[in-house]
Amino acid sequence: MKPVIFGMAGLELSPEERAFFREAEPAGYILFKRNCGDRAQMRALTDSLRELHGRDDLLIMIDQEGGRVARMQPPEWPAFPNGAVFGELYETAPISAIEAARANAEAIGLALSEVGITVDALPLLDVRQPGANDVIGDRAYGYEPMRVAAIGRAVLEGLQTGGVTGIVKHMPGHGRVLVDSHKALPVVDAGEEALESDLTPFRQLNWAPIGMTAHIVYTAWDDARPGTLSHYVVQQIIRERIGFDGLLMTDDIDMKALSGTPAEKACGAVDTGVDLVLDCWARMDEMIAIADALPEASDRTKERLAAALAFRKAPEPARFAEVVRTRDELLALA
């Protein structure tokens, strides 16, 4: 098994993709809007991936946060609110906000598990900062670290009940950036004291099964390399100071924050101790180069992957309408 998550080009596997994926044996797959037609099509696609590898517990992930980050969209699937909605309710009714976030996450999990998705790139534990770039913005749960942690915990638990494993992101914190890491390399010059508040939600939820790194230079820790490619950030900050020992994956290595060829970036991340590389865009030549360059996944990575997928609970599809109603009644209190 290669320590990489690949994307696919369309609504079904092409013969070329099928042959390559069977040989490369990636750890998992990520779906985008281009892969989401309707329920029957998505279930057929995810079933074909499981059949290809003979694994019922295959990592098949999506970025379904709600708000402006949603790959499965209306009218086939319901719209879900963004993270800021729950942070705003927390101002006046913290317990209601936590329960609303948990109910919403269970509804998301039920929608995803219905079509065979096992992992969602949620919750964001990034602490929002005034004046920062809007790449995080209303996706965040708020400006206060413990509030972010409390809502994030509820989201992890809701997804789990809905049959999906969540990913805490973006380690060790994306809330301070002044540029969008999809377009350029952000540099955060904050000192240790300020950065400590960014670490707090991740430390509170360091038991999470999966985490995702940030493509950001933190000058207080490593002024030469972004977090994803920094041995110091991965080992000393994420693994040691935060205390995270779960499955650690990169954000998309195609983002403009990182330089080098796809294979160089993938190998650089694995060399720091990241478990899995995320390569989203289904470009066959790049995927072949990455698979050829990467080593086999380590035994520890395989153990973390198995534990992450075992985190899910058996979903109860009949609960969908109930949890959506609960969410909406609680959000009406805001």
Which of 93, 92, 119 is CA-nearest to residue 108? 119
Count the neighbouring beta carbons within 10 Å of the beta carbon of residue 314.
Answer: 7
* pTM score of the predicted model: 0.96
Burial class (CB in 10 A: 0-12, 13-18, 19+), 245: middle
Q: What would the mean pLDDT of 186-209 be, rounded to a whole number?
A: 96
Residue 257's pLDDT is 81
Q: pLDDT band at 103, cuts 50/70/90?
A: very high
Instruction: Using the predicted structure, report yes or no on whether residue 195 has a pLDDT greater than 90.
Output: yes
Q: pLDDT band at 329, cuts 50/70/90?
A: very high
Which of 225, 244, 226, 247 is CA-nearest to residue 235? 244
Task: Quote the mean pLDDT of the chain.
Answer: 96
How many residues are given for the chain? 334
Q: pLDDT band at 180, cuts 50/70/90?
A: confident
Handedness of CA 123, 127, 128, 131 (dihedral sign): negative
pLDDT digits (tens, 9 = 90+) for 4-56: 999 999 999 999 999 999 999 999 999 999 999 999 999 999 999 999 999 88
Hey, where are the domains in the chain? 2-331
Which of 27, 32, 43 is CA-nearest to residue 8? 32
Say what percent of the chain tops pLDDT 90: 93
Which of 42, 79, 34 is CA-nearest to residue 60? 42
Q: Which two tokens stand for residue 222?
A: 């490593």
Instruction: Using the predicted structure, report yes or no on whether residue 169 has a pLDDT greater than 80.
Output: yes
Q: Which two tokens stand for residue 264?
A: 């160089």
Residue 106's pLDDT is 98
Bridge-based pairing of strands 2-7 and 276-279 is parallel
CA distance 133 to 286: 30
2-331 domain in CATH 3.20.20.300?
Answer: yes
Residue 178's pLDDT is 79
* 114 three-state secondary structure: helix
CA distance 104 to 166: 13
Residue 43 φ/ψ, nearest 5 degrees: -65, -40
Residue 49 DSSP one-character state: H
Catalytic residue among 63, 198, 222, 251: 251
111, 77 Cβ separation under 8 angstroms: yes
State yes or no: is 182 an active-site residue: yes
Q: What would the mean pLDDT of 160-179 be, rounded to a whole number?
A: 95
Higher pLDDT, 333 or 228: 228
Residue 229's pLDDT is 97
State the Rg of the chain over Cα: 19
pLDDT digits (tens, 9 = 90+) for 255-289: 888 999 999 999 999 999 999 999 999 999 999 99
Amino acid at 93: A
Residue 182's pLDDT is 86
139, 124 Cβ separation under 8 angstroms: yes
Which residues make Cβ contacts (< 8 Å) with residue 244, sequence separation at least 6?
171, 202, 206, 208, 211, 238
Catalytic residue among 47, 134, 182, 189: 182
Residue 181's pLDDT is 83
Q: pLDDT band at 306, cuts 50/70/90?
A: very high
Q: What would the mean pLDDT of 223-236 be, rounded to a whole number?
A: 97
